[in-house]
Chain A
Amino acid sequence: MSFNPACLKNENLGKLVWPLVALFAIVVFNVIFTPGFFNLEIKDGRLFGSLIDILNRGAPVMLVSIGMTVVYATGGIDLSVGAVIAIAGAVAATIIRPDYVKGVIEYGEMAPLVTVIGVPLLLALLAGLWNGALVAYVGIQPIIATLILMVAGRGIAQLITEGKIVVFIHEPFQFIGGGFLLGLPVPIVIVAVMLLVTYLLTRKTALGLFIEAVGANPKASQYMGIRAQLIKIATYMFCALCAGIAGLIICSDIKAADANNAGLFLELDAIAAVIIGGTMWGGRFTVAGSMIGALIIQTLTTTILTRGIAPEVTLVFKALVIICVALIQSEAFRKILTGRLAKTEAGQS
């Protein structure tokens, strides 16, 4: 990991080239083989088309990858996002229909939107606080610390819905997943807002540098006066918040809370997006790269769906894309490619 401030800008841009090439390749493939891929129509003042669809379907992955990027940059990882998504959805649905799990069909008093959105997001923040505290204060490795919530979190979500799929109708809440704002689906607008907030926070304040410093060397950053533990907790809480919002979008979109399947495997998609985007594990991060990564994954999924291949097989393609990108980023692999294989293995680990 070389630090050379002079070429940072170029380095960042250079990192985005490969993911962009990959995304471009998939899009070109679609232009040739999928008729009407670029068609955009406006119906009733709303935009429709494959591209909008990819953005709309990809919104949860994009949201979670924003949070995951920041956590990844601190040298962490958050496996619990899928569970947090399930919890957020379960809580929102239960607030709307508190007695559904007991077999009561009536809704009772309609819950105000603030509660339906606010309480799940507060709980998501709490989950993030738990993860962050385990990592920063107890000192457990991130992969294990978040594993606990990944295992138990889905259990908690099922406990809330008592193992049932809670279906509901709640007009204002359904707007989040299915509504349109300025002609765009609301999930896309939410992603755009979160992106803007993240950009302003990490690039217009010193927070981004702090996060990278903590990731690159926690001890040195501590000596510099950065409160490394606080930064870490904040990143985990932010990641959980993103997951919570994604959970609300998913839940509102399908008008139901499915504690078993909501957000299943989403953590893997998000991690894949971050890695494809070129964020280093502990160090430099680029949210833009992660967005490109998320788009690559979603476009790949959509492409495979339109080709009539079973959606489950996307996993094979995802695996191949991730390993190729990871290999290209690996210094050892580049050395072999350029024929300068290191003679000794000592001192390299």
Chain B
Amino acid sequence: MSAPETAADFRQRVEELKALYPDSRSAVMGALHLAQKRHDGWLPPEALEEVAEAMELTPAFVQSVASFYDMYHLEPVGRHSIEVCTNLSCALVGAQAVVDAFEQELGVGPGETTEDGAITFRLVECAGGCGYAPVVIVDQRYREPARPDDVPGLVEEIRGR
């Protein structure tokens, strides 16, 4: 899924999404995913307004939907994201050590973005990789299992992107 570059592009893509459903409102989640791509990984108020306009909904409604789901970000994020699952299966096999390693390596805590704006570090609930725990997700791609030893390499790789 590539990011729609222009506003017209975006509208076109949203129209295509709307056509997939008997009720076009169903396309709001897809439209939010697209808008987030277009706006550096998060949804500033203008993005919500853009979605509202394309979806013929109110910005308030769009915001209410967006704020319900964890994957829509309503505050600025870094260019890349690192997410660590700390739910039961991952926690039982050492997820916290991986979290600690990232904190060390990145110099920021969970929920924070590195000062250079490169990486947002986040914890997530069960990612569905429990059999390959601990699970780390880099820019929406799973790295599993990830051990504390893997962390410096991972960060270096991301910084190189």
Real binding pair: no
Query: What is the interface of chain A, defined by CB distance below 8 A to chain B?
Result: none
